[in-house]
């Protein structure tokens, strides 16, 4: 079919030269007559071939045929030889190949999702080595292979999307479906499960993983939410009870989700570039003006068969990013909460208990000394996180630990009320403020020292409970100052 198309164009070029030489009478337009007949016969042969031997996938031969037919249509339009719609010789390459391209994309999506399910059952999240000194880039084998397959599958459509950008949203939907399946599979492999309790939580547990609610987000996703924590990691076999470091399954899932979050914008950029970019004017767009007929030489590739400017891409990717960030937030919160809870359960490592014992009777200097062992243990925890997690994941979990540590202080401050049963609450608030300053300075110094040039300004913003505690202490101080105002 490709050779036949080229032969037809060569014949039409000769007919155009005969017409331009004025050998025939003016009322005889040889190229229009032969072009309509050639195109009718070619279209009949093309449809017969595609019906008998439909291309099952976007192979090189199939894409070559697609481009060839598109070039045939461009040639006819360029020389004003294409018959009007409804004529037996009217060639519409996009209409001819749309069912085939849509079938290719659908088959690619099904194949990717089926492969993901196979990998979920045949691989383990820790297969290929555990996290450790070289574990920052360690992700689940399932995620690694799926990302490679998705990238390779998308690359097969480069010439199709570049030639006809209208198929971009269909390929975007297929990629999003494959990434959703991958996210759900790796979450199940690593044991991120719902905490069944209330009716709402039971309902949430039956929803797809990408629709889970996140209770908190630390770092890149903005301020934490106030919804109850609904997710936790299943107890891992062989995991020590009360472990105060990130567990292997937690590290693998967090690193994997972070990798997925970086892949989505990269893929969106690739598709957008193939489609001409969000603001780029494609050849043949409405603003480009109509082509002049009978120009010498062939038309530019895709000059006349493109369906206007590139389609709007990104809405489906944006929704996928929201779902991935929700999943990532749930995993970060569950990990940070488990580590903080294990540390604070140790005797003498609860700042809240220390404040209840010494908050009223002690002094700020004593409180700083009492908080010291907790922060020393936290420093060891953060060092272990740095060895096991991706840099941005380390920031998210570190800020989560900062938030849960501040929550111990906030709960104490919130419980203080002036009155007969709690005399000296002002001193308790004073000691709590001293402890809070030590905690904030500690996490600020550690994050700054470990991140160095990778530090972002938002990384040192106060987390939720630290900010709440500072505001609550400021309100109480203002109230005390007003009570002692003479005038």
Among the residue ranges 206-210, 322-326, 331-335, the one predicted with the least confidence is 206-210
Q: Which of 147-161, 226-240, 306-320 has the lowest mean pLDDT?
A: 226-240
Could you tell me which of 1, 10, 99, 106 has the C-alpha nearest to residue 49? 1
Q: Which of 27-36, 265-274, 332-341, 375-384 has the lowest mean pLDDT?
A: 27-36
- CA distance from start to end of the chain: 98
* Residue 101 pLDDT: 94
The predicted model gives 96-102 an average pLDDT of 91
Segment 3-30 mean pLDDT = 67
Q: Which two tokens stand for residue 222?
A: 């903005």
Reported confidence tier of residue 290, pLDDT bands at 50, 70, 90: very low
Mean pLDDT of 310-316: 79
Please say if the pLDDT value at position 201 is more than 50: no
> Is the distance from CB of 76 to CB of 85 less than 8 angstroms?
no
What pLDDT is recorded for position 424?
61
pLDDT at res. 130: 37
Arithmetic mean of pLDDT, 385-393: 90
What's the pLDDT at 422? 55
What is the percentage of the chain residues whose pLDDT exceeds 90?
A: 38
| Residue 322 Cα distances to 170, 264, 318, 329, 475, angstroms | 20, 11, 6, 10, 36
CA distance linking residue 145 with residue 202, whole number of Å: 33
Local confidence band at 317 (pLDDT 50, 70, 90 cut-offs): very high
The yes-or-no verdict on residue 285 having pLDDT over 90 is: no
pLDDT band at 176 (very low <50, low <70, confident <90, very high): very high
Highest mean pLDDT among 9-18, 254-263, 302-311: 254-263
pLDDT at 72: 80
Query: What is the per-residue pLDDT for 37?
Result: 73
Please give the angle made by the CA atoms of 292, 295 and 298, to the nearest 5 degrees: 115
Q: Decide: 116 and 177 in contact? Cβ < 8 Å.
A: no
Nearest to 71 by CA among 308, 303, 276: 303
The pLDDT of residue 321: 95
Residue 122 pLDDT exceeds 90: no
DSSP string, 174-185: HHHHHHHHHHHH
pTM of the model: 0.78
DSSP, residue by residue, 321-375: HHHHHHHHHHHHHHHHHHHHHHHHTSTT--HHHHHHHHTTTS-HHHHHHHHHHHH
Q: What digits encode the pLDDT tens for the residues 62-84?
A: 998 888 888 888 877 887 777 77
Classify residue 284 by its DSSP letter: T
Asked whether residue 286 carries a pLDDT value surpassing 70, the answer given is no
How confident is residue 404, by pLDDT bands cut at 50, 70 and 90?
very high
pLDDT, averaged across the chain: 78
Quote the pLDDT of residue 12.
Answer: 63
The pLDDT of residue 316 is above 50: yes
Confidence class for position 451, pLDDT limits 50, 70, 90: confident
Highest mean predicted confidence (pLDDT) among 22-36, 90-104, 153-167, 292-306: 153-167
Q: What is the DSSP letter of 344?
A: H
Higher model confidence: residue 441 or residue 238? 441
Q: In whole angstroms, what is the distance from residue 357 CA to residue 349 CA?
A: 13
- DSSP 8-state class, residue 361: T
């Amino acid at each position: 079919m490709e050779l036949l198309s080229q032969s037809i164009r060569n014949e039409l070029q000769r007919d155009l030269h005969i017409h331009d030489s004025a050998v025939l009478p003016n009322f005889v337009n040889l190229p229009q007559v032969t072009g309509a007949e050639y195109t009718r016969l070619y279209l009949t042969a093309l449809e017969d071939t595609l019906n008998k031997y439909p291309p099952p996938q976007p192979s090189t031969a199939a894409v070559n045929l697609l481009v060839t037919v598109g070039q045939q249509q461009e040639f006819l339009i360029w020389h004003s030889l294409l018959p009007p719609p409804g004529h037996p010789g009217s060639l519409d390459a996009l209409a001819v190949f749309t069912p085939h391209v849509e079938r290719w994309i659908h088959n690619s999506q099904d194949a990717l999702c089926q492969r993901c399910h196979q990998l979920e059952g045949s691989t383990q999240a820790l297969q290929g080595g555990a996290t450790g000194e070289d574990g920052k880039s360690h992700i689940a084998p399932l995620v690694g292979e799926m990302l490679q397959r998705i990238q390779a599958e998308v690359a097969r459509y480069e010439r199709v999307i570049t030639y006809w950008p209208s198929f971009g949203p269909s390929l975007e939907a297929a990629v999003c479906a494959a990434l959703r399946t991958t996210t759900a599979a790796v979450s199940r492999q690593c044991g991120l499960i719902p905490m069944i309790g209330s009716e709402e939580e039971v309902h949430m547990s039956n929803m797809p993983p990408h629709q889970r609610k996140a209770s908190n987000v630390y770092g890149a996703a903005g301020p934490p939410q106030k919804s109850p924590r609904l997710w936790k990691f299943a107890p891992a076999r062989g995991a020590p009870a009360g472990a105060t470091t990130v567990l292997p399954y937690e590290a693998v899932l967090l690193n994997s989700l972070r990798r997925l979050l970086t892949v989505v914008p990269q893929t969106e950029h690739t598709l957008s570039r193939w489609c001409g970019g969000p603001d780029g004017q494609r050849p043949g767009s409405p603003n480009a003006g109509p082509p002049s007929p009978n120009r010498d030489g062939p038309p530019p590739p895709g000059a006349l068969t493109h369906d206007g400017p590139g389609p709007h891409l990104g809405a489906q990717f944006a929704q996928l990013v929201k779902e991935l960030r929700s999943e990532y937030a749930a995993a970060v919160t569950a990990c940070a909460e488990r580590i903080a809870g294990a540390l604070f359960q140790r005797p003498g490592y609860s700042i809240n208990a220390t404040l209840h014992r010494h908050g009223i009777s002690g002094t700020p200097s004593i409180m700083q000394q009492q908080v010291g062992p907790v922060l020393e243990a936290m420093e060891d925890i953060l060092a272990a996180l740095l060895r096991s997690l991706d840099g941005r994941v380390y920031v998210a979990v570190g800020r989560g630990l900062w938030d849960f540590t501040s929550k111990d202080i906030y709960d104490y401050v919130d419980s203080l009320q002036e009155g007969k049963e709690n005399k000296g609450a002002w001193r308790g608030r004073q000691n709590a403020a001293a402890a809070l300053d030590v905690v904030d300075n500690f996490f600020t110094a550690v994050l700054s020292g470990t991140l160095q040039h990778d530090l972002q300004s938002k990384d040192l913003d106060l987390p939720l409970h630290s900010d709440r505690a500072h505001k609550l202490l400021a309100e109480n101080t203002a109230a005390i100052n007003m009570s002692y105002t003479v005038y």
